[in-house]
Structures are given as C-alpha cells and as structure tokens.
Structure 1
Amino acid sequence: MYRRILNRSFLLLIFTGLALQLQAQEKKKKSYLGFVGNGSLYFSWGYNTEWYTGSTVHVNQPSLNNDYKLVGVRAHDRRGWDDNFFHTALTVPQYNYRLGYFFNEKQDFAIEINFDHTKYIITDGQQAHLKGKLNGEQTDRHIDYSSSNGFYYFLNNGANFLLFNLVKRFQVYHTDDKKFKVDLLAKAGVGPVIPHVENAFFGKDNDPGFQLGGWNMGVETALRVTGMKYVYLEFAQKVDYARYSNLKIYEGTARQSFGTYELILSLGINLPTGKNNPQYKSRAYMQSLQEVRQ
C-alpha cells in the first residue's frame, strides 16, 4: 500500500508539474501574442530638400597615373518641382519613404526602414582646389570646375540614404477618443548608401549606374499630426553623415564623405495589428478592459 500511495503521489506530482508547465507556456504564448497582436504598422511617402557640407573628392585612376583630391567642393540638391512639377513623375523629385512597426505595449518604441532619395550635385562653375598626382606629376592648383571645362559630378539619380532606425515616440496631445493625436518622434540609425553615380573628370565620363557605395548614419526628429485615427502628416528634420567609397569613375574609383541637413514633409497611414491597441482605443475603453483583466 505504501508503494501504491508513493506511486500515485509521484504520478500526481508529475501531472501537476505538467499542468503548471502547460499553463506557463500558455501564459507566455498569450503574452507573446499580445506583444505582436497589439502593435501597429505605419507607412509614409513624402518629399525632401537638402543642404550639404563641403566635401573632398579623392580620385584614384591607376591606369592614368592619377591620384588627386578636389578639396572642399560645394554641392547642392535638385528639387524636381524646380524644373516643371506638372511634367515630373512622382519618383523623379527628391522623395522619401518610411516603413515602421511599433512593437511594445505602450506603443512608444518602433523599428523603421528609413529611405531618402536625395540628389547631390557638385556646383558648376566653382574654383576647385586640385591637389595630388595628375598624369604622374604632383600638382597643387585651382581649376575651373564646370561642364564646359570637362567636369561634372552627380549623385543625380540618388545619393540614396538607407537607414535602419530605432524610433521613440513622445505623446504631446491625444484626444480621449484618439481620433486626433500630436506626437514627437526621435529616430536614430545606420545603414548603407546606394548611389547612382554620373561623372566626368577632364572630359572622361563614366558608365553611370547604381551601386552599393558605403554607409551612413543619421538622427531625425519629427512632428506627427494624426487625424481620423489613422492618417497622419509628418514634418521632420534630419542630420545625416555619409561616407562613400569605390564610386565608379572612368578607369578608377572615387571616395568622399559629407554631412547633410534635410527637411522632410510626408503623408502616412498608421494601422493597428490588434484589436486592443491603446493608441486606437478610448481611455474609457482601455480602463474597462484593464478592470476586466484584473
């Protein structure tokens, strides 16, 4: 009998342990589903304008015996609507998009894919300081950097900053029914640059094309105003630092780095991935839900 009681107790202990384990797994599963199910996805499309710091372009053409720098050149962007907005495709101007996901319970942290199609053009007609080896001889002089003199340098179809950002949201004002919201977002990240390079040095032009050309990092602050719960307008400013390398030129490569200041205006949509997302439910509803859970 003692052995029977011991065996039954042992079996009861096993079954109790299994039941507790299953309960813990179910609780963990529900917690995970709550984490995923009550998130929110957002997407925006917009346009930008940029200002660039001075930059030094390092040109290396071994077969031509060239290894020189264009020191401190100035550059500008190219807004599509400056030419003829109504005859310009949507993707030709300097555009940007954001794709993100708010993932935590408070909905104040997100991960984001952040892309800016920015155009970088070395300003025509400036006096550029050329320093280094040209045709095998050392030189240190100023040249007329202009298309008429055989020079142009475009990241014209995109300097193309791609960042993978971490986003923090700060609530400024939300109505009780969450139909109107004002939020401040802070973003930071790193990623590759994907430039489209077109250039000519001393009349020798390259075969233009897209390439992976280095990396960049940036920080951004944005004011987001949401109406009708789901649609928002976002105005942002961004500072980016990019380092380009192995850019394709005639018979060689170029490299450079520069800083960028951007102003960005975007229109977006934000959609919940669960029915109890606190960003889309009234305060009264969330309080009643919390009481039921307790």
Structure 2
Amino acid sequence: MKKQYLLFFLLIFSRKLNAQQIPAGQEETPKIGKSIFSNEVKRNFSRKGNFFVHWGYNHSWYNKSDINFKGPGYNFTLRDVVAHDRQTELTWKYLKPSELTIPQFNFHFGYFIKDNYSISIGWDHMKYVMDIPQTVKIDGYIDPTVSNPGIPTGPYAGKYNGQMLTVNPDMLRFEHTDGLNYASVEIERHDDIWVPRSQQTSLTMETGIGVGAVIPRSEVYLFNVGENNYWNLAGYGVSAKLGFKFYVTKGLYLQNSNKVGWINLTRIHTTGRNEYDSASQKITYLENYLVLGYQF
C-alpha cells in the first residue's frame, strides 16, 4: 500500500514538472488584449499586474444649472445659472510643492487587472464659480428676514414664479473654488493604436467610466452672510472619459483626456449655519486634462 501511495505522488509531481517546462528556444507568449485598431505590430509584453500613477492639470466647462437655496424664511431656486472654472496663472508656482494643489489638478493611481483593463482611484480638483452679476429666472419665496439669527433680505424679499431677477453681490456669492472635488473609482479599457518595432514607445486610446463622491469646499455668501466653508460630503457623481496616452518609454507616459460627468450635490454648505441653511444643485460638466504619469 505504501508503494502505491509513493508511485501516485511521483506521478502527480512528474505531471506538474512537465506542465511547467517550456521547450528549448521557445519563450512563453504573453497574453495581449485585443485592440479595436488593426495595428500591424503587436506588443511583446503584457501590462497585467502593472501599477500606474499620474498627475496633471485640467480645464472644465459647466452647463447651466438650477441652484436651490432653503432655510428658515426662504426656499427659492435660481434657474439656468451660468458658471465657469477658475484657472491659476501658469507660472513657476506650479512646480512648488506647497503650490501643487492650488491649480485645477488631477491625480490617479491604478492597477492593470488585465493587459487592456485597469481600475483606478482618483481625485479631480475642479473649480466652479457662478457668474455675478447675472440675470436669471427665480421661483419660490424669500421673507424679509431669513436664517437664524435673522438676516435682512432688503429688496430681494418676495414671492417669485418665474420672474427675471438680477443676482448682485449683495444677494449672493457662490463658488466651489477649493474646489469641486470628485473622488472617484474608475474602470478603464486600453487599446493600442500604434506600436513601433522597437517596442519602446506606443500610442494607446483609453476609455473609461467612473463613479464617486463629491467633496466640495464651497465659499458662499447669502445676503452678505457666509464663509469659506470646510470640505463636506455634499453628493455624488458619475463620469465617462476618452483619451490618448503616449508612452515615451515603456513606463513614462503623457496623456490627454476628455471627461464628461454629472454631479448631484444634495447638501451644499452656505452661510456656515449648517443646521439651518443649505443649497443643492445638479451639474453637468466637460473636463479636459493633461497629465504626466509612470507605469511600473
């Protein structure tokens, strides 16, 4: 019986050795994801198991949005509000470690779960500034005194049903400038467009979808009362992106991408009296970013 067990284990062990052996002069072919492009030269290495990290800066554009403000003595909505981003002047400050997070920046860290699929976590730091003054439609009501303690509203008090109102600085200042922060988890697909015979560089198209939390730091003054509020979990967002990545080397790359997204902010801090006053809005945006990254 002992001899039979010994023969059985020797047979299993020999099968494993045979399965692991590669014929002399023949290398194991890496499994490369199929590209949607019919590029002539294919990569001879797989990216599965690689990590990547990138950092860069963005521009963003916002569709018109409705903003609702509510609290003691008021509940009104400004319709089709126009806003823009706020770019930091391009200077050497961008390279100072203490200034790196002041401009509109993007940071992502990811992992290739397959040769052509990756998952990443990221932080998109955008800025949103409502144009003041501007004339918009307004619905709702504003009492002569609002919030707690009371804030006088002056000529803005009244009931509204679609009237046009010019929003001046004495009524409102509204911006997410520190900033409109989108913390996301994204899944990406990578398709090789061009691979040279040297295999040292390549051009890749990246597409992806994401979902995440929105953590703005909102600076809001309502009827001259407010503050630069602390960061808060104000809502969530979804996004989709398309971009192109040029590998300068096998690891170092430069990437330019466009991202379209939708954000639902259900609780924006306004006057600093967070137990009483808040705002909400839904934002559709387009973001373009340029980043420098490394894959390892």
Where on the TM-score scale, by shorter chain, does this alignment land: which range?
Answer: 0.7 to 0.9
User: For the structure 1 residues 46 and 207, does the alpha-carbon distance in structure 2 shift closer, same or farther, using more than 3 Å as the test?
Assistant: closer
Identify which of 114, 137, 142 aligns with 2:164. Answer: 142
SS of the aligned residue for 1:119 comes to strand
1:54 maps to amino acid: K
1:108 maps to amino acid: N
Deviation at 1:151, TM superposition (A): 1.4
User: For the structure 1 residues 219 and 69, does the alpha-carbon distance in structure 2 shift closer, same or farther, using more than 3 Å as the test?
Assistant: same
Match of 2:82 in 1: 74
Native 8 Å contact 1:145 1:152 kept in 2: no
Deviations 1:44-99 (A, max 9, x none): 111110110011111110xx321111111100000112xx6345622111111121
User: For the structure 1 residues 93 and 207, does the alpha-carbon distance in structure 2 shift closer, same or farther, using more than 3 Å as the test?
Assistant: closer
Asked whether 1:210 is paired with 2:231, we answer: yes
Native 8 Å contact 1:206 1:248 kept in 2: no
Deviation at 1:125, TM superposition (A): 1.2
Match of 1:42 in 2: 52
Between Structure 1 and Structure 2, the one with more helix by share is 1
Deviation at 1:207, TM superposition (A): 5.3
Match of 2:63 in 1: 53
The equivalences for 1:112-191 within 5 A come to 112-135=120-143, 138-140=159-161, 141-147=163-169, 149-191=170-212
Match of 2:277 in 1: 252
Match of 1:270 in 2: 295
Deviation at 1:12, TM superposition (A): 6.5
Task: Measure the CA separation in 1 of the matches of 2:116 and 2:127.
Answer: 32
Identify which of 187, 202, 218 aligns with 1:197. Answer: 218
Deviation at 1:38, TM superposition (A): 5.0
- Structure 1 stretches of 4+ with a deviation exceeding 4 A read 7-17
SS of the aligned residue for 1:103 comes to strand
Native 8 Å contact 1:150 1:204 kept in 2: no
User: For the structure 1 residues 87 and 103, does the alpha-carbon distance in structure 2 shift closer, same or farther, using more than 3 Å as the test?
Assistant: closer
TM-score (norm 1): 0.76
Task: Measure the CA separation in 2 of the matches of 1:171 and 1:163.
Answer: 25
Task: Measure the CA separation in 1 of the matches of 2:62 and 2:75.
Answer: 25
Task: Measure the CA separation in 2 of the matches of 1:196 and 1:124.
Answer: 19
Deviation at 1:11, TM superposition (A): 5.1
Deviation at 1:9, TM superposition (A): 8.6
Deviation at 1:139, TM superposition (A): 2.1
Match of 2:247 in 1: 226
SS of the aligned residue for 1:39 comes to coil
1:163 maps to amino acid: S
Task: Measure the CA separation in 1 of the matches of 2:107 and 2:227.
Answer: 29
User: For the structure 1 residues 166 and 43, does the alpha-carbon distance in structure 2 shift closer, same or farther, using more than 3 Å as the test?
Assistant: same
TM-score (norm 2): 0.76
Worse-superposed segment, 231-240 or 137-146: 137-146
Task: Measure the CA separation in 1 of the matches of 2:142 and 2:171.
Answer: 15
Match of 1:85 in 2: 91
